Amino acid sequence: MHYPNAHAVNADLHCHSTVSDGTLSPTEIATRAFENGVELWSLTDHDEIGGQEEAASAAKALGLAYVTGVEISVSWASETLHIVGLNFDPDDAALEAGLQQTRSGRARRAEQMGEQLRKVGIEGAFEGALSYAGNPNLVSRTHFARFLVERGICSDVRDVFSNYLIAGKPGFVEMQWATLAEAIGWIRAAGGVAVLAHPGRYRLSALEADVMVEEFMRLGGRAVEVITGSHNASQYRKYTALAQEFGLMGSRGSDFHSLGESHTDLGALPPLPDALTPVWHDWL
């Protein structure tokens, strides 16, 4: 059914729980989202849908509308892209197999990150990161960052990333994630919609970004995150124009991870601009 005023709905379609690199359980996020006035919610853990059942049932108990979600890591050219999948069948076997394959390199990567950090004098980072991971199959750079902050090596998570965890820094390990075709293919085959997450975060030239968006669309991608905790006001405008130019729907999500670290709380975002069709326009 087409909802008459979808723009007015407080939709938060991007956030993380302890199933990936968030610090709250799916139930705790559902509660916080509800208390913050979110009216349509999706939990989008990295490369994992293990939290979907809990999220859906917590939302149901609160009377909060829910759609399934995931954020898939993709290697494209020399950049890592994030593709959010929304409103898919969580029991789809091919999607689960694809996600399992995508996250399978994380354990080895985490060990290598630990080894490389040891070489610059930081002991026990692998074990430390693991102790922060709610899901041992989903050790993320964020878990390393929390450990390095706890150790007093950096003052905050952002600092750890710029000094240790990005390309060219000692804790960085190159990864081969899913291809763009795989990620979009799995989402679509499971009946979901593929959304290009936080485009403002990718280090691509204008030409590369155009090629990437064209490929995203050719493969069946339908929407772009315009209103996200990762964008500033000028990026809201830039990606509204991009969505209009390419005929993509718009999405909205905080990308909330944790109370101390995330500057955008659940549901605390401006509305999607009127010029765009909300990706959720026919989900309510």
Residue 52, both tokens: 């979907």
Interatomic CA distance for residues 7 and 11, integer angstroms: 9
Of 9 and 86, CB closest to ligand AMP: 86
Contact between 18 and ligand AMP per CB under 6 A: no
Residue 34, both tokens: 């509800």
Q: Which of residues 240-259 bind ligand AMP (CB under 6 A)?
A: 257
For strands 65-66 and 40-41, give the pairing: parallel
Contact between 158 and ligand AMP per CB under 6 A: yes
Q: Which of residues 43-72 bind Mn ion (CB under 5 A)?
A: 71
**From the CB of 71, what's the least distance to Mn ion, in Å?**
5
> Which of ligand AMP, Mn ion, none is residue 161 near (CB under 5 to 8 Å by kind)?
ligand AMP
Contact between 255 and Mn ion per CB under 5 A: yes
**From the CB of 22, what's the least distance to ligand AMP, in Å?**
9
Q: For tokens 């401006």, what's the residue?
A: 270
Among 140, 235, 254, 264, interactor with ligand AMP by CB under 6 A: 140
In SS3 terms, 111-176 reads as HHHHHHHHHCCCCCHHHHHHHHCCCCCCCCHHHHHHHHHHCCCCCCHHHHHHHHHCCCCCCCCCCC
SS3 content of the chain, % helix, strand, coil (to 5): 40, 15, 45
Q: Which of 168, 123, 173, 166 is nearest to 148 (CA)?
A: 123
Contact between 252 and Mn ion per CB under 5 A: no
Interatomic CA distance for residues 208 and 159, integer angstroms: 28
Q: Which of residues 222-241 bind ligand AMP (CB under 6 A)?
A: none
Among 14, 103, 141, 252, interactor with ligand AMP by CB under 6 A: 141
Contact between 73 and ligand AMP per CB under 6 A: yes
Interatomic CA distance for residues 96 and 188, integer angstroms: 13
**From the CB of 108, what's the least distance to ligand AMP, in Å?**
13
Contact between 44 and ligand AMP per CB under 6 A: no
Q: Which of residues 126-185 bind Mn ion (CB under 5 A)?
A: none
Of 140 and 240, CB closest to ligand AMP: 140
Q: Which of 192, 193, 201, 203 is nearest to 229 (CA)?
A: 201
Interatomic CA distance for residues 223 and 277, integer angstroms: 9
Interatomic CA distance for residues 114 and 173, integer angstroms: 10
Selected range binding ligand AMP among 155-163, 181-189, 206-214, 271-279, rule: CB under 6 A: 155-163
**From the CB of 98, what's the least distance to ligand AMP, in Å?**
16
**Positions that interact with ligand AMP (CB under 6 A):** 21, 46, 73, 140-142, 157-158, 161, 257
**Positions that interact with Mn ion (CB under 5 A):** 21, 71, 82, 197, 255
